[in-house]
Structure 1
Amino acid sequence: MTIGLDATYSEGRQLSGIGVYCRELLHGLARAHPGTRFEWHYRLHRLRAGLRAERPANVAVRPLLERFRTGRARLFHGLNQRLPAAPYRLRVATFHDLFVFTAEYSTPEFRERFRQQAREAAARADLILCVSRFTAGQVEEILGVPATRLRVTPHGVRLPDTLSEEEREPLVLHVGAVQKRKNLARLVAAFEKAAPPPWRLVLAGGGGYGAEEVQARIRQSPAAERITWTGWIADAEIERLYRRASVFAFPSLDEGFGIPVLEAMAHGVPVLSSTRGALPEVCGDAAVLVDPFREDDIAQALEALIRDPSLRARLVRAGRARAAEFSWQRTVDGTWSAYRELGAAD
């Protein structure tokens, strides 16, 4: 049995949440099922990187073409709500979010292109794997896919063996791309109101749509000297920030899942997050959730976390327990179950 997967998004200098999912699923499936032959397909602009990347012995690399099959895969799995028109016998697609249909968090050209790709993938897929119940509901409502074709397979997180013994710093951390959807201009404003010196705010991630607005807001801030946007940094540096931070703030306006909140919980950082999208589903009772459109609510929650060490300690315990409920092995197993349901895996 040979299974093909779109590995395009698993390569890159700094992976998005979708990229992390692709990498973890690709390697997890190959490790868990050494008797199965996998083909990692790359769109042509990433094919050279794919050929250079390390891969298990039961994996071959193939180019991904829109209209022509390459390789021997009976089942093809598109990992980012895209499926080629090529005539694979069985097709599965993973859907992460549908904010391109619901809000202006990207350019009009980007939204129209990804709307069309999502519609095509939804029509072609025998099964659709959704990373949250929230996303499954959107796929059903917006794209008209019946619930009988949807399966929920959440993202996971890697738990550190031990929590950091380093002393935590007066540091509020956000990890992720600096873009309009992440609501960082309001976070900067809330930080000004809630966090006195020596508290600092660190925004760790590359730039995205609307980043210039966040930059301008930081320059205008009376707390500008205590606010840092790192730009792209390596995973090891992000790990170091998780181990130093005292509060993690993620007041996003829309998320199909939200891997960074689980990463923060896994590292023992109390989380402030949002009532929007899938974030309540992911966070459960292990975070302080606020209406992300209400700047004062963000500020009040942030102030409570800064001033109340007992609240932080409670959220650290709850967060570690919550993060332990999400593993990449669970994601792998749920994906394999979908393949088996289609008769493409033993």
Structure 2
Amino acid sequence: MKSLYAIASLFAGPGIGTTAYRAAAGLWRAGLLDRLVALGHRPTEVAEEQIVDVRFPPRGALRFLSDKPFYWLKNRRFDQVCRRAAAGDFAVVHLWNSQATGTARLAKGRGQRLAIDRASTHIRTQTDLLVAAYERFGIRYAPTYRETIARCVEEYALADVILTPSPRSYRSFLEQGVAEEKLVRCPFGADLERFTPRDRPPEKFRALFVGQLGVRKGIVTLLEAWDRAATGGELWLVGGKEEAIHRRLDPWRDRPDIRWLGFRSDVPELLRQASVFVFPSIEEGSALVTYEAMACGLPLIVTPESGAVARDGREAIEIKPHEVDALAAALAKLAADPALVEQLGRAARRRVEQFPWSAYGDRVALVHRLLADGRTGAEIRQALATGWPQIE
């Protein structure tokens, strides 16, 4: 039994590249990975001879293109190479959504089992949520290309299974009419050795946000809530500012209680200097940074849309998107109760220890084994629900 795994990103790079590496590592450990196709790769345990690198100019070389045409061209080139690579005798072909539709068609035409990975909500749900979110600020959002939406939906129809990382993502597919027979929930993981708890809590209450400082991540909601909470502490913001909303952040610049830290490579250390992690996102699949914050022993203030494995009242305080007052109340509550911060933080570390990256790779390997054996999505979902911790 052979599997092909493809990702149109830097394999073992940041973000989705890390997720892809952990999945492929699980397949490699299980002896299932025969071919890896990626947009460049960093050295890992996967043998070099098994890797097909797709060459495409880096983002900086094509600055004259906006994001959507750049990614459209990148995926088109990736699909061309991936189609050739997938022409072998593979039992399972595993693709990330929208990156290689031609390869998906080829796989189904050859009778191969097809797994589609979707790290966010259903493409139509995602588009609707983001259009509505930008409209709240009077910003005209350029939605996903119709062709890209059509390709995503076609891949959902072709797939034998669709891997979703969280209950919200899973539910979005049901709401869009995708048969539950296809859906498999497969939460991500954390590097429990790199992200470790602090020795002692900070002397001053400190809330930390890591992500793009933009509409999708709820940054304006966070800043407005910070003002209302009046904790007397500090708010640290890590990440780049979204151009569309850049000027709306002006009222909070040059504030002694708010630190704009930009992009940082020392995120584990910053997490260990915080009291609480705040992530009021509007749309995600299952944000990796929430796993990382929990691994550092931080309680979370998050939306259900963040896809965190933390549970309301046990490791986190959950709020709805855009709810400034609820977020302010959560910040004020934790700032006033250091014992609760420590209680939730210890529970967060215990909880995320059930989701090491090795478990994610093992889940993906099990999906491939069962697909190759001809099992249905329902049978695979049942197998993953037995003996594995779940996101509630």
User: C-alpha distance in 2, partners of 1:277/1:239?
Assistant: 19
2:284 aligned with 1:255:
yes
Q: Which residue of 2 aligns with 1:25?
A: 23
Distance 1:206 1:268, change over 3 A: same
Q: What are the within-5 Å matches in structure 2 for residues 40-51 of structure 1? A: 40-42=36-38, 46=39, 49-50=40-41
User: C-alpha distance in 2, partners of 1:73/1:224?
Assistant: 60
Q: Which residue of 2 aligns with 1:319?
A: 348
Instruction: Report how far residue 309 of structure 1 moved.
Output: 0.7
Q: Which residue of 1 aligns with 2:128?
A: 102
Indicate which of 192, 205, 214 corresponds to 1:159: 192
User: C-alpha distance in 1, partners of 2:95/2:281?
Assistant: 26
**Structure 1: stretches of 5+ with no match in the other structure:** none
Amino acid at match of 1:220: P
Structure 2 contact 7–37 (Cα < 8 Å) conserved: yes
TM-score with structure 1 length normalisation?
Answer: 0.83
Instruction: Report how far residue 296 of structure 1 moved.
Output: 1.5
2:153 aligned with 1:138:
no
Instruction: Report how far residue 223 of structure 1 moved.
Output: 6.8
**Structure 2: stretches of 5+ with no match in the other structure:** 55-77, 135-140, 375-392
Q: What are the within-5 Å matches in structure 2 for residues 169-318 of structure 1? A: 170=204, 171-197=206-232, 199-208=233-242, 211-213=243-245, 215-221=246-252, 224-234=255-265, 237-276=266-305, 278-279=307-308, 282-284=310-312, 285-318=314-347
Structure 1 contact 251–292 (Cα < 8 Å) conserved: yes
User: C-alpha distance in 2, partners of 1:294/1:136?
Assistant: 23
Indicate which of 83, 93, 111 corresponds to 1:76: 93
User: C-alpha distance in 2, partners of 1:116/1:125?
Assistant: 14
User: C-alpha distance in 2, partners of 1:69/1:330?
Assistant: 31
User: C-alpha distance in 1, partners of 2:306/2:202?
Assistant: 30
Amino acid at match of 1:283: R
User: C-alpha distance in 2, partners of 1:323/1:260?
Assistant: 12
Secondary structure of the 2:163 match is strand
Distance 1:341 1:303, change over 3 A: same
Amino acid at match of 2:174: E
User: C-alpha distance in 2, partners of 1:60/1:169?
Assistant: 50
Structure 1 contact 40–59 (Cα < 8 Å) conserved: no
Amino acid at match of 1:216: R
User: Could you tell which deviates more after superposition, 94-103 or 219-228?
Assistant: 219-228
Secondary structure of the 1:257 match is coil
Instruction: Report how far residue 122 of structure 1 moved.
Output: 0.4
Amino acid at match of 2:17: G
Secondary structure of the 1:110 match is coil
Instruction: Report how far residue 288 of structure 1 moved.
Output: 0.9
Q: Which residue of 1 aligns with 2:4?
A: 4
Structure 1 contact 77–92 (Cα < 8 Å) conserved: yes
Secondary structure of the 1:179 match is coil
Amino acid at match of 1:6: A
Indicate which of 104, 111, 116 corresponds to 1:93: 116
TM-score with structure 2 length normalisation?
Answer: 0.74
Instruction: Report how far residue 36 of structure 1 moved.
Output: 3.5
Instruction: Report how far residue 277 of structure 1 moved.
Output: 6.0
Instruction: Report how far residue 58 of structure 1 moved.
Output: 7.1
Amino acid at match of 1:70: A
Amino acid at match of 1:65: D
Instruction: Report how far residue 259 of structure 1 moved.
Output: 2.2
Structure 1 contact 270–319 (Cα < 8 Å) conserved: yes
Amino acid at match of 2:285: G
Instruction: Report how far residue 244 of structure 1 moved.
Output: 0.5
Distance 1:27 1:340, change over 3 A: closer
Distance 1:268 1:180, change over 3 A: same
Q: Which residue of 1 aligns with 2:137?
A: none
User: Could you tell which deviates more after superposition, 122-131 or 325-334?
Assistant: 325-334
Distance 1:70 1:174, change over 3 A: same
Distance 1:307 1:319, change over 3 A: same
User: C-alpha distance in 1, partners of 2:19/2:343?
Assistant: 29
Amino acid at match of 1:36: L
Identity within the alignment, %: 25
User: C-alpha distance in 2, partners of 1:342/1:182?
Assistant: 35
User: Could you tell which deviates more after superposition, 298-307 or 105-114?
Assistant: 105-114
